[in-house]
Amino acid sequence: MSDAAAKRYDVAVIGAGMAGMAAALFAAERGLSCIQIGSGGGILFASGLLDLLAVQPVAQHRLWQSPFEALAALAREQPAHPLAQVDPLAIRTAFQRFVAALTSAGMPYAQMGEHNSNVITSIGTVKTSYGVPLTMVAGVAALAQRLPCLLVDFRGLREFSARQIVETLAQEWPTLRHQRIEFPGFEAVPEVYAVHLARALENRETRERTIALIKPLLGDARVVGLAALLGLSRSSEVHAAFEAGLGVPVFEIPTMPTSVPGLRLLGALEAVMSARGVTRRQLSSVRSLNFDGDTATLDLVGAPGGERIRAGAVVLATGRFSGRGLTADRQSVRESILGLPVQQPLAREDWHQRDFLDPTGHAINRAGLLTDEAWRPLDASGKPAWANLFAIGSILAEQDWMRAKCGSGLAIATAWAAVEQITQQLHKAG
């Protein structure tokens, strides 16, 4: 492949999950030219909620209503945790910038202050999260105040049952009730799906017919909840129409993945990347990555004839096993692109606890890359493997993001911190 044909960027981001999207956004907003490599398909499994930190310590499953108090506890108790190494003020700024970008792309969030919010899930449990889409926020107040509430679902929508939610929450929320209706235009369809209904509700006539079916069922309800299907790219418009038509606050409940909020989030982030001038290679992957001084060379596969990229800095945002940033056999865990050392249990039998549901989690869930203070992954000698290679997000060691409820926080905070280091380094290099 010809070096002359290689395209040059300030930053190459490998990975298009939450961490990769955040890194590309923050790099572009700092005026750095950026290419992002990889598919954002993993975001389709997102609920739309942006967790910062809700559980600390994981073994005791202590829930925190203030994520910033939780971060302070994390810094005291687990200083090696990646989130504990990012200044809380920087985390606030990173979240503000990330949410502002989503809002500009048509996915607005409720104002985020000092506290987490409690959100109903599709199985009737309660999830503690930090960033809540505006279409879901009325449910936070309804749950907190136990307001008389009507949950509505649709015949044939197997991925969501209002009755199950009501029965699960019956003791703690006695004024919660449910109704099932036919979705207009789908009466003869035996099984319906949230994404199809979401598209249908972007049609004004379908919206009005649906609202007309729900309104006689309100009774004393002061708020109405539905599955998260109030539109795809025009969710704010559809949500506002339901509130105006019903005359009460309306909220969405996140559904099982892959979900409509996940589709919205991916669409919004893709729009953000386009608006910020980020070059994307969604169907490409990295065949080889080499470093020579202050330049990295990436050979990509996926495009006809391949493609060569040169970059001043490379960000690994490839995730763990589901994102294929890490791979494992029966002996060990490996980093997939460069073979970087992975912190992991010494013996295979130590990967998991005997109890699958052990509250302390499994050691394999904390495997990952160690970095220096500038977010550069370490080699076997404990030194940065390359001066212009950085790692962010769930590929990092010393964290169990799923049990700590900090996935988005980990992605956004470490992306912000790493891009800050990259910006300083590239400016010093001229």
pTM value is 0.95
For 27: left if phi > 0, alpha if psi spans -120 to 50, otherwise beta; the answer is alpha
Residues in contact with 423: Cβ distance below 8 Å, sequence separation at least 6, in sequence order: 27, 30, 32
Q: What is the pLDDT of residues 172-214, one digit of tens each?
A: 999 999 999 999 999 999 999 999 999 999 999 999 999 999 9
Alpha-carbon distance 388 to 386, whole Å? 6
Q: Output the pLDDT for position 393.
A: 97
Alpha-carbon distance 50 to 133, whole Å? 9
Q: What is the pLDDT of residues 51-76, one digit of tens each?
A: 999 999 998 999 999 999 999 999 99
DSSP 385: S
- Angle of helix 235-246 relative to helix 204-214, nearest 10 degrees, comes to 40
CATH of domain 7-104+264-428: 3.50.50.60
| Blockwise average pLDDT, block size 10, the chain, 430 residues | 78 97 98 94 91 94 96 97 97 97 96 94 95 97 97 95 96 96 94 95 97 97 98 96 98 90 96 97 93 94 86 96 88 92 86 79 88 97 96 96 95 98 89
Calculate what percentage of the chain has a pLDDT beyond 70: 99
**Which of helix, strand or coil describes residue 368?**
strand
Report whether 50 contacts 131 (CB < 8 A): yes
Q: Output the pLDDT for position 131.
A: 97
Q: Output the pLDDT for position 329.
A: 87
Report whether 360 contacts 328 (CB < 8 A): no
Alpha-carbon distance 321 to 307, whole Å? 26
Which token pair is 2?
């010809």
- Sign, CA dihedral 59-82-385-419, equals positive
Task: Compute how many other C-beta atoms are within 10 angstroms of the C-beta atom of residue 114.
Answer: 10
Q: Output the pLDDT for position 369.
A: 97
From the options 3.30.1370, 3.40.50, 3.30.160, 3.30.420, give the CATH code of 137-253: 3.40.50
Q: Output the pLDDT for position 2.
A: 56
DSSP per-residue codes, 159-219? T--HHHHHHHHTTT-TTEEEEEEPPTT-TT-S-B-HHHHHHHTTSHHHHHHHHHHHGGG-T
- The CA–CA distances, whole Å, from 357 to 62, 122, 224, 328, 354 equal 16, 21, 35, 21, 9
Q: Is 63 exposed, middle or buried (0-12, 13-18, 19+ CB in 10 A)?
A: middle
The ranges assigned to domains in the chain are: 7-104+264-428, 137-253
Q: What is the pLDDT of residues 233-247, one digit of tens each?
A: 999 999 999 999 999
